[in-house]
Amino acid sequence: MLGLYIHIPFCVRKCRYCDFLSAPACDSEREAYLKSLHGQIKAIGERLRQKKSGKHYIVDSIFIGGGTPSLLSSDQMQALMDVVRESFYVADDAEITAECNPGTVTRKKLCAYKRAGINRLSIGLQSADNEELALLGRIHTWEEFLDTFKAARNACFTNINIDIMSALPGQTVLSYQNTLTSVLALHPEHISAYSLIIEEGTPFGERKLQLPDEDTEYRMYENTAGIAKLLPSEDEVVQMDELTWKLLGEAGYEHYEISNYALPESVCRHNLKYWHCEEYLGVGTGAASYMKTNSSGDYCRLKVITDTKAFSEIDWNDPASLDKCFAECDILSLQEQMEEMAFLGLRTKEGVRLSSFYERFGKSFNEVYGEVVKKYTAMGMMKADETHVALTLKGMEVANWIMADFCG
């Protein structure tokens, strides 16, 4: 089974915190990109069929991300899905997700997406507070989000994720709690709750928005209007995390991954492929892949070029084009594969399945990482039994710190 990620690098306007590969584009630029994207999907599908002696790869999850994929017209989404089905065997019960921004869709368009095969939506809200949304540079209001969510339900989407963010400039524990309760009142099947990270190269990063160390207070941040804003304090961020765990847990959502919560039977199957180190293929600019290279179990990590204009100009009739479209192609060492299975698996509530680790590497998890597990188990940050090793809730609070011990 194969997961397929499709990157659509278009957006109406870059948000101030966004470091994803995305940018506004005119109609002709979008058409040129989509034409090349179709060519890449067909070329890779053919290459993989040759690898499997004429048989199609079975795709059981598709995630169309961006950017803002919901900028695609109904016809463009249908054409994209048609090409995917021509190039791969898409399982009847495949999970097919499209990211969607409020204000970019109507009920009519969403109905067309549903006919094209999209059966799951991931809607980017981030906050229910209009002032916080404006500061983030979002193109929508809370009210416009509500219109989009209602349109999705009216288009018969029964599997919807909502993205929210904490630790925003100007955000308080009370305003974040209002975002949580407002989202919970809508009963989405899935909620992704992220904490803001200031990335270099973003408008936030360029404005020198500084996160504090343990001994300093948060500095003032000036937004584009010159209004001073405070980032939440470290204690407030902890309170926000605790509110997330408490309110979503009480509402019946399983905290199945560090940033993800789902009602029963609604976990994101595509993202689980990443965390379980299963094979996935990425197409479109900047998309990453994780694929087995041979029967001996070697894996490689591939990344498509990030220049959208150059990607759009690729001649896919040229047999060499498929190899040239990748900016990176790294064969992973056994050590790198073990590290990935460890720190990605630890992102999930289930943790690392010990039998899977042994089956893949011929070594027990304890043989490789026993001392690290012993260290954090003693600190109450990890738990281990005969079948799994996982982080505790306390460990999830400092997951990045712990996972660094599993690398190198």
Residues 29 and 84 sit within 8 Å (Cβ to Cβ)? no
Nearest-angstrom CA–CA distance, 232 and 234:
7
pLDDT of residue 56: 75
Q: Which domains does the chain have, with CATH numbers?
A: 2-275 (3.20.20.70), 350-406 (1.10.10)
Q: Which candidate, 128, 136, 157, 133, places its Cα nearest to that of 70?
A: 157
Q: Name the amino acid, one letter, at 302.
A: L
- Give the burial class of 11: count Cβ atoms within 10 A of its Cβ; 0-12 exposed, 13-18 middle, 19 or more buried: buried
pTM: 0.92
pLDDT of residue 54: 63
Judge if the upstream peptide bond of residue 282 is cis by omega within 30 degrees of 0.
no
pLDDT of residue 407: 83
pLDDT of residue 207: 65
Residues 337 and 299 sit within 8 Å (Cβ to Cβ)? yes
Q: Which three-class secondary structure string do you get for 82-107?
A: HHHHHHCEEEEEEEEEEEECCCCCCH
pLDDT of residue 51: 79
Residues 384 and 373 sit within 8 Å (Cβ to Cβ)? yes
**What backbone torsions phi and psi does residue 405 show, to the nearest 5 degrees?**
-75, -15
Tokens read off for 318? 């040229």
Q: Could you state, in chain order, the average pLDDT of each consecutive group of 10 residues for the chain (408 residues)? A: 97 86 92 98 92 80 97 98 97 98 97 98 97 93 98 98 94 96 98 88 66 35 39 90 97 97 97 96 97 81 96 94 91 94 95 96 96 96 96 92 86
Question: Please, how many CA atoms are within 13 Å of residue 39, restricted to the half-sphere of its CB?
Answer: 19
What 3-state DSSP class applies to 232? coil
